[in-house]
Amino acid sequence: MRILALALGALIAVPASAQTAQVAPILTTPEAKDIWTHARPEIARVTHVALDLRVNFASQTLSGSAILDILTAPGAREIILDVDNMNIQTVAALNGPNLPYKIGPRDAELGSALTIQLNPGTKRIRITYNTKPSASALQWLPPELTAGKVKPYLFSQGQPINNRSWIPTQDSPGIRQTWSATLTVPDNMVAVMSGDRLSGDKGMQRANGGRAYEFRMNRPVPPYLIALAVGDLAFKATGKRSGVWTEPSMLDAAAYEVGDVEKMIDAAQALYGPYRWGRYDMLVLPPSFPYGGMENPTLTFLTPTIITGDRSNTDVVAHELAHSWSGNLVTNATWSDSWLNEGFTTYFENRIMEAVYGKTRAALYADLDWDGLQKDLTEAKNGPTTRLHGDPGATAGQLDYFKGSTMLRTIEVAVGRKRFDAYLRSYFDRYAFQPQTSAGFLADIRQRLIRGDKALEARLQLDRWVYQPGLPANAVHVQSAILAKVDAQLAAVKAGGSVSAVKTTGWSTQQWMRFLNGLPRQQTPARLKELDQGLGLSASTNAYVRSAWAELAIANRYEPALPSIEAFVNSVGRGLLIRPVYQALVAQGDWGKPIAARFFAKAKASYHPVTAGQVEKIIAK
Ligand code: BES
Ligand code: ZN
Using alpha carbons, select from 392, 393, 388, 394 the residue that is nearest to residue 408: 388
Cis amide leading into 100 (omega within 30): no
Do 539 and 427 share a structural domain? Answer: no
Beta bridge partners of 197: 215
- 483-537 pLDDT, tens per residue? 999 999 999 999 999 999 999 999 999 999 999 999 999 999 999 999 999 999 9
Rounded to the nearest angstrom, the distance between the alpha carbon of 321 and the centre of ligand 2 is 9
Do 523 and 415 share a structural domain? Answer: no
| Average pLDDT, rounded, for the chain | 94
Other beta carbons within 10 Å of 204: 14
- 585-615 pLDDT, tens per residue? 999 999 999 999 999 999 999 999 999 999 9
**DSSP structural state of residue 167:** -
CA torsion through residues 310, 313, 314, 317, sign: negative
CB 376 within 8 A of CB 397: yes
Rounded to the nearest angstrom, the distance between the alpha carbon of 294 and the centre of ligand 2 is 7
CB 264 within 8 A of CB 357: no
Question: Is 264 part of any domain?
Answer: no
Q: Which helix (H) or strand (E) holds 512?
A: helix 509-518
Domain boundary among 217, 232, 247: 232
Ligand nearest to the CA of 316: 1
Residue 112: CATH number of its domain:
2.60.40.1730
Strands (E), 226-366: 228-231, 234-237, 242-246, 280-284, 293-294, 299-302, 330-332
Residue 607: CATH number of its domain:
1.25.40.320
Do 411 and 520 share a structural domain? Answer: no
Do 196 and 67 share a structural domain? Answer: yes
Which residues make Cβ contacts (< 8 Å) with residue 279, sequence separation at least 6?
Answer: 196, 241, 242, 243, 298
Number of domain units in the chain: 3
**What does the pLDDT read at residue 299?**
98
Pocket test for ligand 1, best of 156, 257, 258, 319 (most atoms within 8 A of CB): 319
Question: Is 165 part of any domain?
Answer: yes
Question: Is 268 part of any domain?
Answer: no
Question: Is 309 part of any domain?
Answer: no
Question: Is 321 part of any domain?
Answer: no
Question: Is 525 part of any domain?
Answer: yes
Ligand nearest to the CA of 292: 1
- 560-571 pLDDT, tens per residue? 999 999 999 999
Question: Is 283 part of any domain?
Answer: no
- 129-141 pLDDT, tens per residue? 999 999 999 999 9
Do 409 and 528 share a structural domain? Answer: no
Return the amino acid letter for 163. Answer: N
What 3-state DSSP class applies to 68? strand
* Percent over 90 (pLDDT), the chain: 93
| Averaged pLDDT for residues 303-327 | 96
CA torsion through residues 112, 118, 123, 126, sign: negative
What 3-state DSSP class applies to 7? coil
Rounded to the nearest angstrom, the distance between the alpha carbon of 427 and the centre of ligand 1 is 23
Residue 360: CATH number of its domain:
1.10.390.10
Pocket test for ligand 1, best of 136, 139, 342, 371 (most atoms within 8 A of CB): 342
Domain boundary among 232, 247, 276: 232
Do 68 and 196 share a structural domain? Answer: yes
Q: Which residues are catalytic?
A: 320, 401
Which residue segment(s) compose the domain that 114 sits in? Answer: 2-232
Do 146 and 31 share a structural domain? Answer: yes
Ligand 1, atom 8: closest residue by C-alpha: 159
Do 178 and 29 share a structural domain? Answer: yes
Rounded to the nearest angstrom, the distance between the alpha carbon of 384 and the centre of ligand 2 is 22
Integer Cα distance of 440 and 121 in angstroms: 34
Do 524 and 453 share a structural domain? Answer: no
Atom of ligand 1 nearest to the CA of 349: 18
Distance of CA 403 to the CA centre of its chain: 17
Atom of ligand 1 nearest to the CA of 327: 1
Question: Is 394 part of any domain?
Answer: yes
Do 356 and 207 share a structural domain? Answer: no
Which residue ranges have their beta carbon within 6 Å of ligand 1? 159-160, 291-295, 315-316, 319-320, 323, 342, 401, 576
Regarding pTM above 0.75, the answer is yes
